[in-house]
C-alpha cells in the first residue's frame, strides 16, 4: 500500500481535530483509498502551550519551515489560521511542488489570487474544502459535481454565530445583546464579535464561492456587507407576522443586463446582508449554528446543502476529504486532476449594489400623531416606490411608536436616497431600519 506522509502546520482546534479524526478513521480511509495516511511532522507556534491533543514530542517543532521542507512530507496541511505566516507556509510548500490543504478562509479571501497562481506555476494543487461552511462539501460540489452547470444563484447561511443569534431571537424574543453574550459564553462567538455579527466572516466565504462559481476572483473589498447589529426583536416579530424569517445571507446572483450592442452582458451580484426569507423556503428553517447553501444551476435546478458550519469535527471532516483527494492525485500522478480554481470566463464584473432591485422591509420609530403616514407616503411616491403593507402594531401606545412598511421593488440607490429624506423628518425619532426581502422566485 502506498504511503503518503502529512506535515501538519497548526496544532490548535482544527489541527487537533484532524489528528483525532485520522487516528479514529485512518484505517477506514486506507481501505477505501489504497493509501496509508500518516502525520509525520507537526509545527506549532508555542511548544509550551497546553493542547487538547498530545502530539508525540519527537514529531513536534516550532519551526514550520523544517516541516514544509522535510523531504519525507508529501502533503502540507496549513491549519494555523491568520494571513501572514500562513501565506508564507502555503507559498513555500507550493514552491516545492507539494500539495497544500488549508481551512483558512481569511487567507484565501485576501491572497487567493496569488496562491492559485503559485499553484499553477509549480504544477501542484491547493485544496480548500474546509474554508467554507465547515463540514458541507460545497467546494467539491461547485468544482466537480456541478461542473456541467452554469451557476445562476447561490444563497448561503454561512455564519453559524449569526444564525444561532437570529434563531434564539426568533424562538425566545430575546434581544441581540443578550443572545450574543450567551454565544460568547458558549464559544459560538469570539470575545470581539465584529467579524461575525458585522458580516465580514460571511463575506470572505461568499467571495470564495462567487469566485469559484463564476471563474474570476472576487476581492472582499468589492463585496457590499451588512451585519445583524440593527436587527431587533421587533423586526423578528413583524417578519414572522408577515410570513418571513430573518437570516443573514451571502448572495451570489447572475445578472443579465444591457441594451443594444451590450444586450445580454453578464455580471454577478455579490453581497452579504440580513434578509426576510419566506417561511416556505427551506433556508428559513435552518436554525441554531447550522449552515445551509442553496445553489441553482441552469441544468440541475435548485439544490440544497446543509450541515454543521464550524467546530473541530465538521472542519476536520472537510480537511480529511481534501487529504484523500491529494493522496489519490499523488498516487495516480495527477497533481492537477481538477485545478484548484477553475476559470470559466475570461473576465467578469460585479453588478453595482446601487442598481440591485429588491422588495424591502422598513421599520420606523415615529411620533404618534396624525399626518405621519401622509408625509412618509409622499416621499415614497415621489421616489416612485410603492407600499404593499403598512403595520402600526397595537400595544405600543406612547409618544413614539413603531411603523412597519413593506415596499415593492426598488433599486438600492433609490431606497438609500428616500430613506435619508425620511430620516430627516421631524416626526421620525430614530434611524430607519432597512432589510431586503428575498422572494426566491
SS (H, E, C) the chain: CEEEEEEEECCCHHHHHHHHHHHHHHHHHHHHHCEEEEEEEEECCCCCCCCCCCCCHHHEECCHHHHHCCCCCCEEEECCCCCCHHHHHHHHHHHCCCCEEECCHHHHHHHHHHHHHHHHHCCCCEECHHHCCCCCCHHHHHHHHCCCCCEEEEEEECCHHHHHHHHHHHHHCCCHHHHHHHHHHHCCCCCCCHHHHCCHHHHHHHHHHHHHHHCCCCCHHHCCECCCCCCCHHHHHHHHHCCEEEEEEEEEEEEEECCHHHCCEEEEEEEEEEEEEECCCHHHHCCCCEEEEEEEECCCEEEEEEEECCCHHHHHHHHHHHHHHHHHHHHCCCCCCCCCCCCCCCCCCECCHHHCEEEEEEEEEEECCCCHHHHHHHHHHHCCCCEEEEECCCCCCCCEEEEEEEEEEEEHHHHHHHHHHHHCCCCECCCCEEEEECCCC
User: Residues 98, 105, 170, 205: which is the catalytic one?
Assistant: 205
Task: Note if 205 is an active site residue.
Answer: yes
* Active-site annotation, residues: 205
Amino acid at each position: 500500500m502506498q504511503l503518503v506522509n502529512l506535515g501538519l502546520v497548526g496544532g490548535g482546534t482544527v489541527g487537533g481535530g484532524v489528528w483525532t479524526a485520522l487516528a479514529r478513521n485512518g484505517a477506514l480511509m486506507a481501505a477505501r483509498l489504497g493509501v496509508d495516511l500518516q502525520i509525520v511532522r507537526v509545527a506549532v507556534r508555542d511548544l509550551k502551550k497546553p493542547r487538547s491533543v498530545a502530539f508525540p514530542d519527537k514529531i513536534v517543532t516550532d519551526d514550520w519551515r523544517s516541516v514544509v521542507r522535510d523531504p519525507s512530507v508529501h502533503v502540507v496541511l496549513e491549519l494555523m489560521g491568520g494571513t501572514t505566516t500562513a501565506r508564507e507556509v502555503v507559498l513555500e510548500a507550493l514552491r516545492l511542488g507539494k500539495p497544500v490543504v488549508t481551512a483558512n478562509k481569511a487567507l484565501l479571501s485576501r491572497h487567493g489570487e496569488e496562491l492559485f497562481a503559485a499553484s499553477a506555476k509549480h504544477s501542484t494543487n491547493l485544496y480548500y474544502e474546509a474554508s467554507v461552511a465547515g463540514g458541507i462539501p460545497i467546494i467539491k460540489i461547485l468544482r466537480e459535481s456541478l461542473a456541467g452547470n452554469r451557476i445562476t444563484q447561490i444563497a448561503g447561511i454561512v455564519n453559524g454565530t449569526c444564525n444561532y443569534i437570529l434563531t434564539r431571537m426568533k424562538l425566545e424574543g430575546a434581544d441581540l445583546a443578550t443572545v450574543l453574550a450567551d454565544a460568547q459564553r458558549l464559544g459560538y462567538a469570539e470575545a470581539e464579535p465584529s467579524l461575525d455579527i458585522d458580516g465580514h466572516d460571511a463575506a470572505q466565504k461568499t467571495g470564495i464561492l462567487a469566485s469559484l462559481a463564476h471563474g474570476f476572483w472576487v476581492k472582499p473589498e468589492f463585496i457590499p456587507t451588512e451585519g445583524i447589529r440593527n436587527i431587533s426583536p421587533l423586526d423578528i416579530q413583524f417578519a414572522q407576522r408577515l410570513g418571513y424569517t430573518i437570516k443573514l445571507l451571502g448572495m451570489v446572483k447572475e445578472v443579465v443586463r444591457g441594451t443594444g450592442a451590450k444586450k445580454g452582458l453578464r455580471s454577478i451580484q455579490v453581497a452579504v446582508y440580513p434578509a426576510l426569507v419566506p417561511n416556505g423556503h427551506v433556508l428559513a428553517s435552518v436554525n441554531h449554528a447550522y449552515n445551509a447553501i442553496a445553489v441553482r444551476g441552469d441544468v440541475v435546478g435548485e439544490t440544497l446543502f446543509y450541515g454543521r458550519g464550524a467546530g473541530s469535527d465538521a472542519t476536520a471532516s472537510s480537511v480529511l476529504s481534501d487529504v484523500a483527494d491529494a493522496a489519490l492525485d499523488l498516487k495516480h500522478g495527477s497533481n492537477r486532476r481538477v485545478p484548484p480554481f477553475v476559470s470559466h470566463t475570461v473576465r467578469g464584473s460585479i453588478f453595482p449594489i446601487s442598481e440591485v432591485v429588491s422588495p424591502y422591509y422598513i421599520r420606523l420609530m415615529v411620533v404618534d400623531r396624525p399626518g405621519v403616514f401622509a408625509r412618509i407616503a409622499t416621499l415614497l411616491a415621489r421616489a416612485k416606490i410603492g407600499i404593499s403593507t403598512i403595520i402600526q402594531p397595537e400595544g405600543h401606545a406612547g409618544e413614539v411608536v413603531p411603523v412597519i412598511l413593506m415596499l415593492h421593488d426598488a433599486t438600492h440607490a433609490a431606497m438609500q436616497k428616500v430613506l435619508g429624506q425620511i430620516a430627516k423628518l421631524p416626526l421620525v425619532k430614530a434611524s430607519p431600519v432597512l432589510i431586503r426581502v428575498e422572494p426566491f422566485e
